[in-house]
Amino acid sequence: MKKIIGMFSVFIVCLVTITSVYAAKYIVIDNDPLSSAPGNFKSTGYTYGKGANDYNGDHRLGTPGKETNECIWVHKSITYADVPYASYRVYLHNSSFTCPKAAYYVTAPNGWQDKFACFINQDTAPGGWSYIIKNYSSYPESELGLTLGNGGSSGGGKLGADAGEIIIPN
């Protein structure tokens, strides 16, 4: 019995060590000014709304195809040097998000020098977190963030913005 308990203890120590070595850091930037999510969020031309499935209970809603309208999530304390292979996700869990071709970009401070990441069909995306890009390693700016750009989005529907997330590998 002591041998089994000893082997189990060694297994638990190894499991905790492996988990802590490979654990990633998840940083959420939300559009809710009352949330505890760090960073900056700004939007122009979007309307504020609330929904039961939204991250922290709220979202922004826009219309595709208007160049002046965008949502930007920027985290000011993360630098590219700190996260050479960060991944990015957005939270999509609202039935009002119906844009079939929402354009997402990785962005530098204050939204300048965006680099296209991908299109997502918000109407058919599964509820919850959707990857924008995994292991992004070619963005040498000083701060990291996401932009949802109306100008690149198309296909009608309503363009939705909720939370963004940066995943930093350990």
With 80 as the cut, is the pLDDT of residue 26 above it?
yes
One-letter amino acid for residue 124 of the chain: T
> What is the extent of the structural domain holding 152?
24-168
* Residue bearing tokens 């826009």: 62
Question: What is the reported pTM?
Answer: 0.75
Q: What confidence tens digit (pLDDT) does each residue in 48-58 have?
A: 899 899 998 88
DSSP for residue 77: T
Residue 9 placed within a domain:
no
Q: What pLDDT, on a 0 to 100 scale, did the predictor assign at position 54?
A: 93
Structural domain tally of the chain? 1
In a domain, 67, yes or no: yes
Beta bridge partners of 88: 133, 166
Residue 106, pLDDT score? 77
Strand pairing of 101-107 and 58-62? Answer: unpaired
- The CATH number covering residue 162 comes to 2.60.120.430
6, part of any domain: no
Q: Is residue 102 part of a domain?
A: yes
Rounded CA-CA distance 3/117 in Å is: 53
Residue 157 lies in a domain: yes
Report if residue 43 sits inside a domain. Answer: yes
In a domain, 10, yes or no: no
